[in-house]
A and B are shown apart, each in its own frame.
Chain A
Amino acid sequence: MLGDPVLINLVVAHGLEAKPLIALFDLQPQEDSDNVYVSNSGVRLIVTGMGRQNVEYSLAQWVETKPSARRDMAWLNVGIAGHQNLAVGDTLIANKIISGPDNESVFPTPIISGLKTGTVITVDRPELNYPKDAAYDMEAFAFWRSAAAFGPLDLVQSYKIVSDNPDSSTDKVTPNLIAELFDSASMEIEDLVLQLKALAAKQQSLVSDPPAFVSAKASYRLSVTQEIQLRRLCHRFYALQMGESLEVILSASHRDSRALIGALHAALGHADGNPGREGGESLSRVEAGGGQTERNQAS
């Protein structure tokens, strides 16, 4: 499903954390799922349930239902956490996530600007003593581990809103407080999502098929090798500022895909000021890979 328009997956543990995000990003329930919401602005929300096992299960299940989903989306875990030193309502983006039970650490890439950063320790039961200068949650480690296997590691991030600390215990964390905390952090969350969406969009644009390739692919029967060659050739034309030449060559009639690829190679060879050269290593492979294909339809 390479046409998946989603740029970022938000992951929360609880419905109370989901509710403000559903409103903020105008998310709608996804058909055939009771814990996934999508928007038409490139945002998806997955509600996993609390604790590491629920996160692992939910994300694995999501991937199972989307086996061909593109792998260049951003992932953002949003949730409340306790903290030893930060005030209720303070926020941070994790730059180190420690699995409390076994002390294993992972390190989200510090690619987000303008936010406070800090350590998050993922524990199996709510931490009431806050022994270290860190945020305490129940999902971040499992989230990061799971999401890093699906997406670009640099675009997997975890954002925490402090809900409790030594001066304000967990029993004060009510649905109303969570709503207030998310409301206060909404601009920051929007900005964070925008930053990650922009990075993901850039990544996706780099690996997306050029439009010229898509139309050529529809017109010619291509072997797998030829498809790779044609995609790269189209990228090269654009990179060399030769988009117009590409259009001209594609709009001309070619005997078959092999002839088309040969014509593209020849044009690039000339563009480099080397009419005598024919693309070095690549042309021989083009010729070896061609032959059995024919054009599907006349252009």
Chain B
Amino acid sequence: MNFSSVYIEDEIAETERVTDILARVGDIPRIRIERYGEIFNRAGQNFRLQKQAPALILAKKHGKKVLPAPEGYGFEQGSGFYFSHMLNCLYDCRYCFLQGMYRSAHYILFTNYEDFMHDILGQSAQAAGNVFYSGYDCDSLAMEPVSGFCNSFIPFFGNRPEMTLEIRTKSTQVRKLLEFDPLPNCVVAMSFTPEAAAKRWEHRVPAITKRLLAMRKLQQAGWPVAIRFEPVIAEPEVENNYARLFQQVFSTLNGELMHSVSLGEFRLPKDFHKKMVKLYPEEGLLARETICSDGMVSLAGGGAEMMQAIESRLLTHVDSSRYYRCA
């Protein structure tokens, strides 16, 4: 995990967590800042340029830390909320909305975990059975060796079985999770696209086989695991590609023990798509014919028929009670 530099907000610079993190990032330039806004997402910054040498920003999250999850984001078990202790991702997936969301590719790590927990508790007090998603604006596990996210949040949710945590990731960093006893209320959800799509668009992401092995370790240890087949990208042979992927996934993992599986088509807010086209004008995926509906862009050639066909194939591997279609 290489960062070009680490920026540290003055307010948190002397905290124990920041001291621990700095000990883990190695000998890189350390730069003190007042607020992360001095560095992150400033006008004139370029996501693509910064992605070549991203820095780590250690900051304190102010304001709302827990937000309602978008409609159809997760497996229905109660009200859904997400929290982002990080912004941006170590990986570089060409389809990812983060490229259109921020001008900056630096990674922000909000280190005031206890404040997140406080807000999670506050939200949970309002209704039982809430699901809290981590990994909406980042990959929750990819930076685990630096962030120590699991060390803080797994015990927290372990003591609160009435709440569910879903960790979304493409990372194979599961060693820390495996040190804990499995929690029935902590789901590790891994995203997959077929081999061809992964090779073409998921830069720096561990290979499918390695990710599946990580998931198998978790499942064998008793952790609830989930698979998110997202984003489904319309292309020739898409059904066959998914058929092969399903075969690979369900020959490695036990479908009957799986918490849930989902399918979600490639969709982006129109403004994000526009920004991504500007960033990567040479990218074929972003040059494809699109359809715009309700402010969301999707690929022509996809749609309900394709999703239905893939869904049918998926449901030959897993019971429909464990399946949902991501909106």
Contacts and interface: CB of A to CB of B under 8 A. Distances in A.
A277 B299 CA distance: 11
A235 B281 contact: yes
Contact of A107 (B31, B50, B281, B283): B31
Interface residues of A, number: 40
Contact of A105 (B33, B284, B292): B33
B4 A111 contact: yes
Given A274-B300, A277-B300, A281-B292, A235 B287 contact: yes
Contacts of A119: 31
Interface in B87-136: none
B45 A107 contact: no
B301 A107 contact: no
Interface string B26-55: 000101111000110011111011101101
B5 interface: yes
Interface stretch (A45-53, A146-154, A177-185, A216-224): A146-154
B46 A152 contact: yes
Interface residues of B, number: 38
Given A235-B281, A240-B284, A107 B7 contact: yes
A84 interface: no
B294 to A, nearest CB: 12
B286 to A, nearest CB: 7
A79 B99 CA distance: 35
B24 interface: no
A277 B303 CA distance: 13
Given A154-B50, A272-B301, A110 B5 contact: yes
Contacts of A240: 284, 287-288
A95 interface: yes
A195 to B, nearest CB: 11
B276 to A, nearest CB: 12
B38 A95 contact: no
A111 B29 contact: no
Given A153-B42, A153-B45, A274-B301, A238 B5 contact: no
A232 B277 CA distance: 9
A113 B53 contact: yes
B282 interface: yes
Q: How would you classify the secondary structure of chain A's contact residues: helix, strand, loop or mixed?
A: mixed
B289 interface: yes
A11 interface: no
Contacts of A277: 289, 291, 300-301
B236 A273 contact: yes
A148 B38 CA distance: 14
A236 B38 CA distance: 35
Contact of A206 (B31, B42, B44, B282): B282
Given A113-B53, A206-B281, A238-B282, A281 B45 contact: no
A110 B53 contact: yes
A240 B43 CA distance: 30
Contacts of B43: 153
B287 A236 contact: yes
A199 interface: yes
Given A110-B5, A280-B289, 15 more contacts: A96-B31, A105-B33, A107-B7, A107-B38, A111-B49, A113-B4, A119-B31, A148-B44, A154-B49, A238-B282, A239-B284, A269-B289, A269-B300, A273-B301, A277-B291
**Across chains A and B, which 8 residue pairs bring their CB atoms closest together, nearest first?**
A153-B44, A239-B287, A236-B287, A110-B4, A110-B5, A280-B291, A154-B49, A272-B289
23 contacts: A105-B33, A105-B34, A107-B7, A109-B45, A111-B49, A117-B29, A152-B49, A206-B279, A206-B281, A235-B282, A237-B287, A239-B284, A239-B286, A241-B284, A269-B289, A271-B289, A272-B300, A273-B301, A274-B300, A277-B289, A277-B291, A280-B290, A280-B300
Interface of B: 4-5, 7, 29, 31-34, 38-39, 42-46, 48-50, 52-53, 55, 236, 277, 279, 281-284, 286-292, 299-301
